[in-house]
């Protein structure tokens, strides 16, 4: 399954296998994390989209990756969970899996997702283009888009600075 990040289409170093190479990067279910606490490689967790933030908070320091699922593209819970996890300070990879559609990738990036397990249903270029479809956003852009409210505030400041220096 192709993996898309800021760097484009990349190789996925993580495995979801039990009893894998102890040095490999591993993604395990959230409730199995305890068994892998001393894992030598990088460690990620599959977190269900029904989890509450409190379920994840104790592990944020230990985890290199958190993977959140979209069981159906209409099930938007992971958008909010991703936002909460980022606001709690998690800076590792936040990965979206499941029923992703190109038209949603930019919104996912905006709420804090940094990697996307996509399918072969669409051409890789379609997926990549989707990440920068809108060039402006009224909310936190999180991608290459410009934040409308911020741009407006900056423009006003520049204008004020200009009139101040002209005086």
Tell whether residue 131 is a contact of another protein (CB under 8 A): no
State in angstroms the smallest separation of the CB of 153 from another protein: 5
Figure out which of the listed residues 13, 119, 135, 160 binds another protein, where binding follows CB under 8 A.
Answer: 135
Binding-site size, another protein (CB under 8 A): 38
Which DSSP letter does residue 135 get? Answer: S
CA 86 to chain centre: 9
Rounded Cα distance between 17 and 20, Å, is 6
Question: Binding string to another protein for residues 26 to 65, with x set by CB under 8 A, is what?
Answer: --------------------------xx------------
132 contributes a contact to another protein by CB under 8 A: no
CB of 72 to another protein, least distance (A): 9
Taking residue 54's Cβ as centre, other Cβ atoms within 10 Å add up to 8
Answer whether 94's CB lies under 8 Å from 64's CB. Answer: no
Closest approach of another protein to the CB of residue 6, in Å: 17
Taking the complex as a whole, the smallest distance from the CB of residue 45 to another protein amounts, in Å, to 18
Contact criterion met (CB below 8 Å) for 22 and 39 = yes
The residue ranges of DSSP E strands in 6-117, in sequence order, are 8-10, 14-15, 25-29, 43-46, 65-70, 93-98, 115-117
Instruction: Give CA torsion, residues 156, 159, 160, 166, to 10 deg.
Output: 180
For another protein, the closer CB: 3 or 82: 82
Positions touching another protein (CB under 8 A) are 52-53, 73-77, 79-81, 83-84, 87-88, 103-104, 106-108, 110-111, 133-140, 142, 146, 148-153, 156
């Amino acid at each position: 399954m192709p993996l898309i990040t800021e760097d484009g289409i990349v190789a996925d170093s993580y495995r979801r296998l039990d009893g894998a190479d102890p040095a490999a990067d591993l993604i395990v279910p959230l409730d199995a994390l305890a068994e892998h606490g001393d894992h030598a490689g990088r460690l990620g967790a599959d977190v269900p989209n029904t989890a509450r933030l409190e379920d994840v908070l104790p592990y944020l320091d230990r985890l290199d990756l958190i993977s959140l699922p979209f069981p159906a593209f209409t099930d938007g819970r992971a958008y909010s969970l991703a936002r909460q996890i980022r606001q709690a300070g998690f800076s590792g990879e936040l990965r979206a899996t499941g029923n992703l559609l190109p038209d949603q990738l930019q919104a996912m990036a905006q709420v804090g997702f940094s990697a996307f397990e996509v399918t072969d249903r669409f051409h890789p270029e379609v997926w990549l283009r989707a990440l920068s479809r809108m060039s402006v956003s009224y909310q936190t852009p999180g991608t290459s888009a410009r934040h409308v409210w911020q741009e407006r505030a900056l423009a006003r400041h520049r204008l004020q600075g200009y009139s101040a220096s002209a005086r």
